[in-house]
Amino acid sequence: MKTFKIVLISLLVILIVIQFFHPAKNISNAPTPNDISVAYNEPENVRTILKKACNDCHSNNTRYPWYNNIQPVAWWLDNHVQEGKHGLNFNEFTTYRISKQYHRMQDIIDEVKEGDMPLGSYTIVHTDARLTDQEKETLINWAKSIRSEMKAKYPADSLVRKK
């Protein structure tokens, strides 16, 4: 019984102490000269979907829920944001080399088709980010159209992923 009490109190202390440590928030007011919309057509309906379902983890601005004030939840959310952003950041899209831009569009098609994005843990709470079949189709067709546009615009070897 005594050890149990000690363990419980230790956990409580740890839980209290970590409340004082928060990861930096992913929030920026800086202009976004490298945004995907600068180089490619981003229709209003696509922008709306990206905003509500993707940008919290794939842009320089996250809309934080209230529970981000609670640790260790904030670390967990920050991990998603950092990983998501690292793989695909719509605000930095034009800084990627052409072959990466081209392949990310295919990745979007695959992830959305498979229902792997947005993350399941995200749509539990963000119910408006659950994509309807119509919204999935809109995103997929958009990504496909950008790939066609790129194919027409750039030499074939620039679209090949470098080893």
Binding range to ligand HEC, per CB under 6 A, among 25-33, 66-74, 94-102, 112-120: 112-120
> Hey, what are 145's tokens?
């159209």
Among 26, 32, 35, 53, binds ligand HEC (CB under 6 A): 53
- The contact mask relative to ligand HEC for 8-37 (x = CB under 6 A, - = no) is ------------------------------
User: Under a CB-based contact definition with an 8 Å cutoff, are residues 129 and 118 in contact?
Assistant: yes
Within 13 Å of residue 67, how many CA atoms lie on the same side as its CB? 7
Asked if 137 interacts with ligand HEC (CB under 6 A), we say no
User: Under a CB-based contact definition with an 8 Å cutoff, are residues 100 and 86 in contact?
Assistant: no
Q: What CA–CA distance (Å, rounded) separates 20 from 7?
A: 21
Minimum CB distance to ligand HEC smaller for 93 or for 122: 122
Shortest Cβ distance from residue 99 to ligand HEC (Å)?
13
User: Under a CB-based contact definition with an 8 Å cutoff, are residues 88 and 107 in contact?
Assistant: yes
Write out the binding residues for ligand HEC, residues 68-97 only, by CB under 6 A: 80, 83-84, 87-88
